[in-house]
A and B are shown apart, each in its own frame.
Chain A
Amino acid sequence: MRRASAALLTAPLLLFLLVTFVAPIAAFLWRGVTDTEVAPVLPRTAAALSAWDGRALPDEAAFAALVEDLRAARARDRQAGGGSIARAAARLNADKPGFRGLLPMTARRVEAPFDGAARAVLITISEEWGEVETWGAIARAAGPLSSFHALTALDLRQDAAGAIRAAPEDQSVFRAVLLRSLWISLLVTAACLLLAWPIAWLIATTRGAAGILLLAAVMLPFWISLVVRTAAWMVLLQREGVVNAALAATGIVDAPLPLMMNRFAVVLAMVHILLPFMVLPLVAAFRALDPRLPRAAASLGAPPWRVFLRVTLPLCLPGIGAGCLLVFIQALGFYVTPALLGGPNDQMLAWFVGFYATRSVNWGLAAALSILLLVAVGLCVALYGRLAGFRRLGAA
């Protein structure tokens, strides 16, 4: 009875989150492992290619199926006013550049009936229909399940015969983006740990007003909106900003320094924004530390560095780990700060998710990149769970 009523109390929120949070995210991520744009437009071609081995050009049946599909799709598009051919072409273009023009053009040219083999006619329309990889692109996009987006997110391509190899140099960006995101997050975490240590130690060990003031110095920025803090850094760092004006007034520099739109500004602002998330767990760890233990070690003759390495550090390690992971997890997902303070080469995974979802309307790739981001975050959360224990997280 008690258990039932407890479940009943939790049900409304769980239901709400399932509908407004879990289901939308699951539906979005599903797009990263499926393909739905091409199969409805080219159903016969997809069926004809399902048994194709991809070593040589497909047989006449596939060519004929494509002609039939394109005629049907063009008639449908004209009637309903929908651009289904254009949508399919956009998806195929992501795999093999050139498709955006090829597919509508071919659809126009095969509309009128013709004599002879479809194969010969299609290859006359465009030599590209005589290439194995053109058909490979259709076969890869036939769905319903597809590894195309996931492979793209890892800078990999699959050819028609099924072999996986590296993507062409000029299209390989995502591994670099992933590494950049991890590197920036790591840098931010390390800087936060370094800066948080002294102030956390002081907060934990100082009694009276000074300790409270230091804690207030951490809590105040913690509460202030992320956009405001990013704005503050922009005002400080921009060309005609506070720092450059001060430097020019004191005569240290002649020309304004480029302090913004670079990696330095992104890392600086991210450290500023995430520092409280490192300080607070460290304060908790330092407060839980029994001060008699380092003192005992010192009285037994250990030099200060040894006391630190052998006593203080191991005792605080869970708190340090928790703080580092908390900062790292949040840094990985940063969007606003790099977008405003960074240049094109400082954008992280989150920016590319947003870019492919809205500006380039490539939901599959946006979803695959999100999966990458979530896997990285999930690994960190699992590590956090082992370090801090989820029971403590819940009670915190």
Chain B
Amino acid sequence: MARAACWVAGVLVAVFLLAPIFAIVPLSFSAGSFLFYPLPGLSLRWYRDFFGSDFWLPAVWNSLGIGLASAALATLLGTPAAFGLWRMKGRFRAVAMGIVLAPMVVPVIVVAVALLLAFGPIGLVATHAGMVIAHAALGAPFVVVTVLASLEAFDPVQLRAASACGAGPLRAFFRVCLPQIAPGVAAGAVFAFATSLDEVVVALFIAGPAQRTLPRQMFAGLNDTISLTTTAAAAMLVLLSVVLLAVVGWLQGRKKAGGG
């Protein structure tokens, strides 16, 4: 009895979670130009509009470019840092961990306004470099946390074995440790990329006209009357998120298979 009530409530909550997304995606295939059902017919005109637009198309390249560059930077900095934190103990580790995780908890509006103020005098506002740096700072904690989690399954005795066999610490890391934690590193990179892809507040404050990303343009599009091209953009971001979710799922499956 209680279990049945639980199922009813649970399914209703699942519907609540999915309904808005499933409501917006079909609208983007509408042949008409209004935002409700029933659709007057199906067409790809809003997607043609999207890919032919000076408003949206540059934003796609900006989002992908800034996302990839910031994910690469975050992974390059975050992976060795996670390895270092894993070997560390005591107070220094706690302080370092606090700094590394801070971008996850500090409200992003504070980061955005602070960066606007700091980047202004050094000419990083309205540049791609500024956006990449800001997004890398926001994405790095996700890399560190993910890599640390995959290091939990790594037996440090292997490093001692490697050094007994004559491998230096660098060689031991690259030949013994990195191959085993690679799925975790890749998952961290995907998390960092997704962070950049989702991020809108920093983009609102420090991006110039040449750096406008997809979420930033969506925000602008939502402030006006919402066009169906905006729903096409939303549908494409949904697709991208599903792909990223699938990639992370696949990587985590690999980690489980390889980590045993």
Quick check: is B77 within 8 A (CB to CB) of the other chain?
A: yes
Partner-contacting stretch, out of A125-133, A160-168, A316-324, A351-359: A351-359
A192 to chain B, nearest CB (A): 10
* Contacting pair A232 B21 (CB below 8 A): yes
Partner of B110, one of A25, A198, A238, A393: A25
* Contacting pair A350 B109 (CB below 8 A): yes
* Contacting pair B84 A228 (CB below 8 A): no
Which B residues are CB-close (under 8 A) to A395?
Answer: 148-149, 152
Partner of A223, one of B16, B23, B94, B194: B194
* Contacting pair A374 B244 (CB below 8 A): no
Which A residues are CB-close (under 8 A) to B61?
Answer: none
Partner of B201, one of A5, A6, A336: A336
Give the one of A28, A217, A231 with max B CB within 10 A: A231
Quick check: is A335 within 8 A (CB to CB) of the other chain?
A: yes
Please report the C-alpha to C-alpha distance between residue A145 and residue B14 in the assembled complex, in whole angstroms.
53
* Contacting pair A28 B118 (CB below 8 A): yes
- Residue of A whose beta carbon sits closest to that of B245: A223
Which A residues are CB-close (under 8 A) to B197?
Answer: 225
- Residue of A whose beta carbon sits closest to that of B25: A232
| Secondary structure type dominating chain A contacts | helix
Contact status of A219 and B81, CB under 8 A, knowing A225-B215, A335-B109, A373-B107: no
Partner-contacting stretch, out of B42-50, B179-187, B235-243: B235-243
Quick check: is B174 within 8 A (CB to CB) of the other chain?
A: no
Please report the C-alpha to C-alpha distance between residue A10 and residue B96 in the assembled complex, in whole angstroms.
8
Interchain Cβ contacts under 8 Å between A and B, 9 examples: A20-B134, A217-B17, A227-B219, A228-B24, A228-B237, A231-B24, A329-B105, A363-B117, A377-B105
Instruction: Flag A195-236 by CB within 8 Å of B: 1 or 0 each.
Output: 110110110000000000010011111011111111111111
A367 to chain B, nearest CB (A): 8
* Contacting pair A224 B110 (CB below 8 A): no
Give the one of A246, A304, A333, A366 with max B CB within 10 A: A333
Which B residues are CB-close (under 8 A) to A3?
Answer: 87-88
Quick check: is A173 within 8 A (CB to CB) of the other chain?
A: no
Quick check: is A2 within 8 A (CB to CB) of the other chain?
A: yes
B223 to chain A, nearest CB (A): 7
Please report the C-alpha to C-alpha distance between residue A202 and residue B244 in the assembled complex, in whole angstroms.
26
A-B pairs with lowest CB-CB distance, top 4: A333-B107, A9-B84, A245-B36, A24-B118
Which B residues are CB-close (under 8 A) to A357?
Answer: 113, 116-117, 205
* Contacting pair B99 A333 (CB below 8 A): no
* Contacting pair A6 B88 (CB below 8 A): yes
Please report the C-alpha to C-alpha distance between residue A218 and residue B37 in the assembled complex, in whole angstroms.
25
* Contacting pair A202 B110 (CB below 8 A): no
Quick check: is A156 within 8 A (CB to CB) of the other chain?
A: no
Q: Which residues of A contact B (CB under 8 A)?
A: 2-3, 5-14, 16-18, 20-25, 27-29, 31, 195-196, 198-199, 201-202, 214, 217-221, 223-236, 238, 240-242, 244-246, 272, 275-276, 304, 329, 332-333, 335-336, 340, 350, 353-354, 357-358, 363, 366, 370, 373-374, 377, 381, 390, 393-396
Please report the C-alpha to C-alpha distance between residue A224 and residue B78 in the assembled complex, in whole angstroms.
24
Which B residues are CB-close (under 8 A) to A381?
Answer: 105
Partner of B21, one of A23, A221, A238: A221
Which B residues are CB-close (under 8 A) to A377?
Answer: 105-107
* Contacting pair B144 A13 (CB below 8 A): yes
Quick check: is B60 within 8 A (CB to CB) of the other chain?
A: no
* Contacting pair A238 B226 (CB below 8 A): yes
Known pairs A5-B87, A11-B84, A227-B237; list 5 more (Cβ under 8 Å). Answer: A14-B100, A25-B114, A214-B14, A223-B242, A228-B237
Which A residues are CB-close (under 8 A) to B118?
Answer: 23-24, 27-28
Which B residues are CB-close (under 8 A) to A374?
Answer: 106-107, 110
- Residue of A whose beta carbon sits closest to that of B243: A223
Which A residues are CB-close (under 8 A) to B230?
Answer: 231
* Contacting pair B242 A245 (CB below 8 A): no
A175 to chain B, nearest CB (A): 19
- Residue of B whose beta carbon sits closest to that of A28: B114
* Contacting pair A340 B20 (CB below 8 A): no
A250 to chain B, nearest CB (A): 12
Partner of A272, one of B20, B107, B218, B223: B20
- Residue of A whose beta carbon sits closest to that of B98: A390
Contact status of A227 and B20, CB under 8 A, knowing A238-B35, A394-B148: no
* Contacting pair A333 B109 (CB below 8 A): yes
* Contacting pair B198 A226 (CB below 8 A): yes
Instruction: Flag B60-79 by CB within 8 Å of A: 1 or 0 each.
Output: 00000000000000000110
Please report the C-alpha to C-alpha distance between residue A6 and residue B85 in the assembled complex, in whole angstroms.
7
Quick check: is B161 within 8 A (CB to CB) of the other chain?
A: no
B225 to chain A, nearest CB (A): 9
Please report the C-alpha to C-alpha distance between residue A359 and residue B234 in the assembled complex, in whole angstroms.
28
Partner of B92, one of A7, A202, A350: A7
Instruction: Flag B98-135 by CB within 8 Å of A: 1 or 0 each.
Output: 01111101111111111111110000000000000110
Quick check: is B6 within 8 A (CB to CB) of the other chain?
A: yes
Quick check: is B200 within 8 A (CB to CB) of the other chain?
A: yes
Please report the C-alpha to C-alpha distance between residue A230 and residue B109 in the assembled complex, in whole angstroms.
17
Instruction: Flag B1-42 by CB within 8 Å of A: 1 or 0 each.
Output: 010001101100110111011011001000000111100000
* Contacting pair A234 B226 (CB below 8 A): yes
Quick check: is B211 within 8 A (CB to CB) of the other chain?
A: no
Please report the C-alpha to C-alpha distance between residue A25 and residue B110 in the assembled complex, in whole angstroms.
7
Quick check: is B176 within 8 A (CB to CB) of the other chain?
A: no
* Contacting pair B14 A241 (CB below 8 A): no
